[in-house]
Amino acid sequence: MAQRQARRPFALVLVDADADGFMFQDKYVTRRAQGGEALADELLIRSREYLRPQYQDADALDIVVRVYANLEGMANYLVRQDKVRNLGQLRAFATGFCGRISSFDFVDVGVGKEGSSGRKVRENLSFYTSNTHLRHVILACSPVDLPVSMLSALPLEKITLVESHPLPTALTTLPLKVTRLTTLFLPPPSPKSPRPRGRNGPQLQLMQQEDPDGGATWLVIQPERSKSQGAALRRRGGSEDGDSSLSISIGPDNTVSVDSGRRRRIVG
């Protein structure tokens, strides 16, 4: 029995390529079949590199890779980013990946229910971790698709999570190994910061005006306008700022008045 179990040991790499933070780098996806082949070579190298300190026979292990993605959705995203021209280019990339190494598969889950690629990863994880020939799983998947209740029932000593975004506390408290594969995946997007606005951008002004009755607070809002819109307004003889602001004032008796430049309304 032990001899049969040791006959073809393997390591498994599962990738949810639809997950935020696990999009492959541009140098792979933009080069069609050639990029897919290069990705397969790099993934094989990095997988063995990670496994060597843990297993003496790491170089003899079969490496099985399953990448799941909605290719149409991925292609639409990459077309908007001007990285590919159409779905055919991305299919060529996936075909190159599959054809390079016989145990590597890039599976198109299609346009289905939300989270279909994540579901595929979970099902494969549950199935393969019960296989006595499996040595280790390298898992690149969104933490949202990895409930703690499911992971807790698996042999965690066999699982390594690939970290993109910082992992939630619920996962870091589990005895799981964590690694990064920075040569394969794009870094996660940085949090969006407010875009600085110039003269034509929206402006907010909060002012306190003193008056004999105790003062009033004014909020002035000026909407964003392009240069062409501003020029058109000037050609019509209008003021660029005169009719484009909204003033809200709160009086000492809590009376609210709204002045849009053309009309003034008082709300008691």
pLDDT tens string 13-41: 999 998 878 999 999 999 999 999 999 99
In words, the CATH class of domain 9-179 is: alpha beta
Return the pLDDT at 114: 57
Q: Distances from the Cα of 266 to the Cαs of 149, 211, 257, 260, in angstroms?
A: 57, 18, 4, 12
Q: How far apart are the first and last CA of the chain?
A: 85
Q: Which residue has the higher pLDDT, 114 or 187?
A: 187
- pLDDT surpassing 50 at residue 105: yes
Rounded CA-CA distance 115/137 in Å is: 21
Q: Report the C-alpha gap between 42 and 78 in whole angstroms.
A: 21
223 band by pLDDT with thresholds 50, 70 and 90: low
pLDDT given for residue 243 in this prediction: 46
Q: Domain segments of the chain: what residues?
A: 9-179, 203-267
Residues in a beta bridge with 220 = 205, 247
Say which residues have a Cβ less than 8 Å from residue 84's Cβ, sequence separation at least 6: 29, 30, 75, 78, 90
257 confidence band (pLDDT: 50, 70, 90): low
pLDDT in tens, 188-207: 766 554 444 444 444 444 44
Q: Does pLDDT of 149 surpass 60?
A: yes
pLDDT at 123 over 50: yes
User: In b/e form, how buried is each residue of 117-143, taking b as 16+ CB within 10 angstroms?
Assistant: bbbbbbebbeebbeeeebbbbbbbbbb
